Amino acid sequence: MKKSIFYHAGCPVCVSAEKELLNLVDQSQIEIVHLGENKKRIEEAEKAGVKSVPALLMPSGNVLHLNFGASLSDLKN
Amino acid sequence: MKKSIFYHAGCPVCVSAEKELLNLVDQSQIEIVHLGENKKRIEEAEKAGVKSVPALLMPSGNVLHLNFGASLSDLKN
């Protein structure tokens, strides 16, 4: 099965959402990407439809935005 | 383990988020509540910190708002 990708930026909302998510879902099913530390992947996330972090890109291609930490455009600065 | 509660209102965003969530998580771990059909539970959701649907109330008491379908106040009408 394709993995889901959890995009975050280390913000408090992100960390809290990550913690909740990992209680729900087997960690081996999720790749965790810190867009603040890995800015090269912002474009990839954007193309996948991610508008803000934290967000979970599903194997189906759909994106679940979990609460609101920061918009993707804020991460580019 | 306490169950998580998925609150929704049958909106397209809700249905899509529910589908994704149930791909990720064992359905037996989640109670699904349709606030449009079950308006008595809007108050309970509100007290738990739910501001919009779809949302997932975790056993920890934290709420994950998944995308945005409708605000809770719109459901009261």
**Contact criterion met (CB < 8 Å) for B17 and A65:** no
Closest B-chain CA to A65: B67
Question: Measured between alpha carbons, how far is A53 from A45 in angstroms, rounded to an integer?
Answer: 10
B-chain CB neighbours of A20 within 8 Å are: 58, 60, 62, 64
Q: What is the pTM of this model?
A: 0.89
Among the listed residues B40, B66, B30, B34, the one whose alpha carbon sits nearest the alpha carbon of residue B51: B66
pLDDT tens-digit readout, A24-50: 888 898 999 999 999 999 999 999 999
Distance of residue B39 Cα from the nearest chain A Cα, in angstroms: 23
Nearest Cβ partner for B24 among A25, A67, A68: A25
How many Cα atoms occupy the beta-carbon half-sphere of A27 within 13 Å? 7
Confidence check on the interface: ipTM exceeds 0.90, yes or no: no
The pLDDT profile of chain B, 77 residues, written as one tens digit per residue, is: 689 999 999 999 999 999 999 888 888 989 999 999 999 999 999 999 999 999 999 999 999 999 999 999 999 87
Burial of B64 from C-beta contacts in 10 A (0-12 / 13-18 / 19+): buried
